């Protein structure tokens, strides 16, 4: 039985079992619900719902919106995003996510890791726009680390971090760092239906991500700068 057939079978089983909350904790099963075009490991998502596994790469078109649901957590993937699903965390290559979790589901961008500070219901948004990472703590506190220093982002606050600084590399090195992901099956910059009109899609995607980030990160509270611990 091929992998696609297995994925389809698991999807059907999970759709039936998901509301019952009877999944094994160490299996990290999850379901993907798409509204618009999306790709898993370079293959077009054939249905509106599909199982997604640890290690899968998910890409959304600029006008798409995808939800990943597993027990205790929901990840809303914004349009024009490329992420890697890791079960207990998600890794953003570009684009953004909004995470709602009671399981301390983390999000990473480059060397920056965003983790709920406690196992209470936490909601936060992480968006990588043109090399700038914007983080908003909507509900609950967050712990931010870049491998060298740790900070706390309180509920209702936001911070901005330079992605290139987090990666300790320039833009050309960033491209080299991301190439293994593209080789593993994610749609590349020069192929696949997601980029039939590269310039038009790129411009539209950048505009949508920029607008989305601006809307998500606006609020009555002032921006909270990243404050490295001594």
Domains along the sequence of the chain with CATH: 3-216 (2.60.120.1440)
Span 35-90, pLDDT tens digits: 999 999 999 997 778 999 999 999 999 999 999 999 999 999 999 999 999 999 99
Span 194-206, pLDDT tens digits: 333 333 334 344 4
Identify any residues that bridge with 135 across adjacent strands, giving them in sequence order.
126, 159
The neighbour count for residue 132, using CB atoms within 10 Å, is: 13
The neighbour count for residue 158, using CB atoms within 10 Å, is: 21
User: What's the whole-model pTM score?
Assistant: 0.65
Q: Which residues contact 38 (CB under 8 A, 6 or more apart)?
A: 32, 44, 45, 58, 59, 60, 61, 64, 66
* Burial label, 97 (beta-carbon count in 10 A; 0-12, 13-18, 19+): buried
For the chain, what is the radius of gyration of the CA atoms? 17
Span 151-186, pLDDT tens digits: 999 999 999 998 754 444 444 444 444 433 433 344
Identify any residues that bridge with 35 across adjacent strands, giving them in sequence order.
65
**Alpha carbon distance 153, 197 (integer Å):** 39
38-42, long-range: CB < 8 A, 24+ apart: 38/64, 38/66, 39/186, 39/187, 39/192, 39/194, 41/184, 41/185, 41/186, 42/185, 42/186, 42/187, 42/192
């Amino acid at each position: 039985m091929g992998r696609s057939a297995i994925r389809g079978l698991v999807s059907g089983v999970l759709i039936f079992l998901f509301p019952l909350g009877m999944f094994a904790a160490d299996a990290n099963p999850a379901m993907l619900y798409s509204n618009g075009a999306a790709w898993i490991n370079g293959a077009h998502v054939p249905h509106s719902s599909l199982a997604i596994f640890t290690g899968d790469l998910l890409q959304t078109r600029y006008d798409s919106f995808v939800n990943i649901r597993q027990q205790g957590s929901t990840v809303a993937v914004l349009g024009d995003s490329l992420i890697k699903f890791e079960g207990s965390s998600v890794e953003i290559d570009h684009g953004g996510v909004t995470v709602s979790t009671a399981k301390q589901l983390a999000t990473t961008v480059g060397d920056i890791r965003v983790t709920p500070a406690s196992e209470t219901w936490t909601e936060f948004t992480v968006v990588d726009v043109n090399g700038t990472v914007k983080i908003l703590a909507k509900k609950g506190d967050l712990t931010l680390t870049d491998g060298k220093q740790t900070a706390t982002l309180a509920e209702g606050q936001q911070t901005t971090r330079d992605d290139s600084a987090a990666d300790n590399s320039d833009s050309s090195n960033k491209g080299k760092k991301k190439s293994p992901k593209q080789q593993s099956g994610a749609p590349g910059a020069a192929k696949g239906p997601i980029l039939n009109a590269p310039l038009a899609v790129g411009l539209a995607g950048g505009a949508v991500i920029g607008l989305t980030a601006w809307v998500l990160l606006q609020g009555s509270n002032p921006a909270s700068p990243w404050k490295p611990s001594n």
